[in-house]
Amino acid sequence: MPEKVYTTPRIDKLGIRPGARVVLVGVTDKEFERELHERTDAVVSDATEAADVVVYRADSPADLARLREMRGWIKPNGAVWVLRRKGKGAPVGELELMRAGQEAGMVDNKIASFSDELSAMRFVIRLRDRE
């Protein structure tokens, strides 16, 4: 099967703007890190300041419990992108992920292909719940 050709850079799919503060958790894609560093100098692995974007890789249903914590890491208009494996046999299902986001007080509002193996789902704080 031929490799997929992506026309929109994934950093743009994820809405990461120049200067954005981005927290990476569990993401080991060196090419993505390089792309981020070309866009912003504020790429960190901890949430010492409110972030514009958190990118989090969830490899098991237990990983989804951290979404509630991550809600507190983002600015009111920020986003948490959760990366999960694609496919029917994936350990984290789409519905399971949406439910975990709702339980964390967020709503999913976009899905994007992150790579051939990973899908990304964006969670934001509902407008009515923002400060």
H or E segment and range at residue 112: strand 106-113
Backbone angles phi, psi at 24, to 5 degrees: -105, 130
- How many CB atoms are closer than 10 A to CB 113? 15
Q: What percent of the chain has pLDDT over 90?
A: 85
Contact 43, 71 (CB under 8 A): no
User: Who contacts 10 (Cβ-Cβ below 8 Å, separation ≥6)?
Assistant: 32, 35, 112, 113, 114, 115, 120
pTM, entire model: 0.92
Strand partners, 43: 22
**Tens digit of pLDDT for each residue in 4-21?**
665 889 999 999 999 999
Report the C-alpha gap between 6 and 126 in whole angstroms. Answer: 30
Distance CA 11, CA 119 (A): 13
The fold for domain 10-125 equals Rossmann fold (3.40.50)
Q: What is the pLDDT of residues 20-66, one digit of tens each?
A: 999 999 999 999 999 999 999 999 998 889 999 999 999 999 999 99
